[in-house]
Structure 1
């Protein structure tokens, strides 16, 4: 699909139809233009704005409406940058350039704004709305905003396992001393390889958690049921919890179709309300939705329900510790449009929390960020190919641009190694029992 630079319909998107204006907006737009130009001039990209072309050369972005572009960035920083893409104020010359362009920016994200100005960050950036704080009252709505969009939507770009998390493709695994790293996949993965790589990811987690016949398994964050099905196929009894009614309904259908309903329960339940005792606790990319204020509660809950000798395996998207500390009170484009209340931890903070506040210890780690970049590339290609079907589901052109930007924005983070994804294994030392 070729994304048109024409202005998409935005009437049903509150705020997008309003371009910042007035004296304050004019001043902030001038500042934004100077900062943006200075940043781009240092980078291996090309930006075309009217008669001006700047940057050191590389993936090409075209600013169609410079006044709007700089006004949005000036008033709303990175949120404005993303919103300017949604409205068509800027685009890339080719759809495939978006990820490449954003990857260059992601690699320099810590230095796009001069260090001397970053001290003003706290006074400029927006704070997350109070409704995005993942209290027990708010979390259900925050989860529904994304996961209850439509099961049919997710089926358009995920593989048949409906795994909405990083796959693990065939690659070399290197011992980095403090952790294992799966290096870049041997070959550029093709769509047919995605399903096997998703199953490999799940089976590795179950192996790490020692899930087998008779295991009592708790899964926090059901997805659409694939991990629960695979655990039950090993003879385990599984309780999987979700706050998405859409996911619960389809996961139950898939469990029943696999003939495993007697072994798997799919419950609408907040993780904080979990009871019982489990030999294994597994969770795939759910901690990102917990919110940094509740990471301690999350792990203390797991610690409370884990049986003696039990194991915990969590797949988590992570960011560098210093960036996590600097951005944890920042309202982002991803928060506003994709994941309300979401925030990425660092490996360090998860290690510190479990060490200081639980009897759990981080005893194993596999990182494979390059595999997420490839997973997202395949998802985005499938999504673009399904654009007409997505429109047929009732979504509009602005949604298409938003989802494409989200997938490529995310891919850029992993391709630039700013983001990582890890399978983390936690155990309870025998002297703590």
Structure 2
């Protein structure tokens, strides 16, 4: 993270751009550079120091306090690609080495906080690439076949890959630090306990876990809450790891893990848990997911969901313009707003009884994952990953952290009850 002193040092000698002097400053620059710098004058929040490809520096300040960010441009590709393709263009130019920043999280947070004013300025300039990405996203629909393909694209990178930088619980979802946990493993277990207790899991309950991952929650619930767990996954890599984990823990009599789509489940359960799986369901299938919750819950039962949500005022733009995450990381995914969750529950007579947000804990989790990923990169590379993948993965972690810090997205534990 860049300190105020570091930022001041970077910005030293920069020309403060205004509507009056931007024409003189950009004289002789490519058209895309002129458009980008004029567009940045619409920035309302924070401050951005830019080192141009010719070595000159520019400073743009918004009227509202916000992140102080800095970026060094090796060429003008970032300018044109961000205008044409949004976050996909920002990500791809980073992967190509077209720009650097001493604090990428701050730069992306600034980008996200000011995205509404930028979208207004560049409306109509996005062109064909936005349409192409929209069609690509629609083609990744989460049908039964599409779901397996989309999940495999992310989770079947290999258990060895994830083992290198996740904590020993092999948990790939937000940890919960606000209960007092100081390290990642303790914070992940705190998250499991908080969700189990909020959902009211009792000894002897039969719990359905939709999207059981590498088996972390199933092991926790069976051993700590003394319940029976049926877990579903459509990742063969995760299933093999989780089944072996449960066997080694001596919990095979309490835990049944299956390679199965949630839509095919017919059982009846006391409790249902699903941790950051709903984001991969796809908007078209949200009603079917909630109908399945209702169908599989006993009367009086509860479903505890941990879900990443997007703020309501950003949803329409996000829905219309697939972002970097949807193209490169979670194809077919879609984040709901909190209002979507409440409405989906109401339609199947599931009422929200608890709702707890902890987005800044996710920002901390992502920063921890990034440090761990960097520290083990020389062990990851021999698994078949190149430097471009490294830049993709670190951008993914930076981008998500920035989203939580900018409060564009949040993570929530929401408990639904069937009356």
Normalising by structure 1, report the TM-score: 0.82
3-state SS of 1:259 partner: coil
Shift in Å, 1:125: 2.6
In the aligned structure 2, how far is the partner of 1:293 from the partner of 1:267? 24
Mapped contact 2:83–2:125 kept (Cα < 8 A): no
Deviation, structure 1 residue 43: 3.8
Does residue 1:59 correspond to 2:50, yes or no?
no
- Report how many aligned residue pairs link the two structures: 380
Which of 150, 159, 177 aligns to 1:151? It is: 159
Deviations 1:61-117 (A, max 9, x none): 111122x3334334323211110000001111x3xx111221222222222233x65
2:47 and 2:60 in contact (8 A); partners too: yes
CA distance, structure 1, for counterparts of residue 35 and residue 146 of structure 2: 34
Asked if the contact 2:85–2:126 (Cα under 8 Å) also holds between the matched residues in 1, the reply is no
Do the aligned residues in 2 keep the contact of 1:281 with 1:306 (CA within 8 Å)?
Answer: yes
1:100-111 alignment runs, 5 A limit: 100-111=106-117
Instruction: Report deviation, 1:321.
Output: 1.5
Distance 1:39 1:161, change over 3 A: farther
C-alpha distance in structure 2 between counterparts of 1:341 and 1:365, whole Å:
26
Misfit runs of 4+, over 6 Å: 119-124
Equivalent residue number for residue 10 of structure 2:
none
2:262 to 246, 257, 271: 271
Deviation at 1:410, TM superposition (A): 0.2
Question: What is aligned with 2:21?
Answer: none
Deviations 1:223-256 (A, max 9, x none): 1101101111122111101111111010111111
Q: Which runs of 5+ in 2 are unaligned?
A: 1-28, 62-67
Q: What is the distance in 1 between the residues matched to 2:127 and 2:325? A: 19
Report matched runs for 1:367-382 at 5 Å: 367-382=357-372
Q: 2:355 is paired with a residue of what secondary structure? A: strand
Equivalent of residue 203 in structure 1, options 190, 193, 196: 193
Q: Equivalents in 2 of 1:74, 1:121: separation in Å?
A: 6
SS state of the match for residue 59, structure 1? strand
Q: Which residue of 2 aligns with 1:136?
A: 144
Match of 1:70?
79
| Residue aligning to 1:47 | 50
Q: Give the deviation of 1:407 after TM superposition.
A: 0.2
SS state at 1:366 partner: strand
Seen in structure 2, the aligned counterparts of structure 1 residues 119 and 293 have a Cα distance that, compared at 3 Å, is farther
- Written as runs of structure 1 = structure 2, the 5 A alignment for 1:284-323 is 284-323=275-314
Structure 2 length-normalised TM: 0.85
Give the Cα separation in 2 of the matches to 1:41 and 1:426: 39
The 8 Å contact of residues 167 and 194 in structure 1, kept in 2 or not, is answered as: yes
Distance 2:288 2:35 in 1: 40
2-structure distance, mates of 1:42, 1:235: 50
TM-fit CA distance, 1:210: 1.7
Q: CA RMSD in A?
A: 2.3
The offset of 1:343, in angstroms, is 1.2
- Check conservation: 1:31, 1:74, Cα contact below 8 A: no
The whole-number CA distance in structure 1 between the counterparts of 2:301 and 2:140 is 33
Q: Which segments of 5 or more consecutive residues in structure 1 lack a partner in the other structure?
A: 1-25, 172-185
Q: 1:124 to 1:64 in 2, by over 3 A?
A: closer
1:361 to 335, 351, 356: 351
- Paired position in structure 1 for 2:411: 421
Mapped contact 1:319–1:419 kept (Cα < 8 A)? yes
Whether contact under 8 Å (1:150, 1:246) holds in the other structure is yes
1:85 maps onto 2:90 in alignment: no
1:162 matched to 2:167:
no
Q: Matches of 2:33 and 2:200 in 1, distance apart? A: 58
- Asked if 1:396 is matched to 2:386, the reply is yes
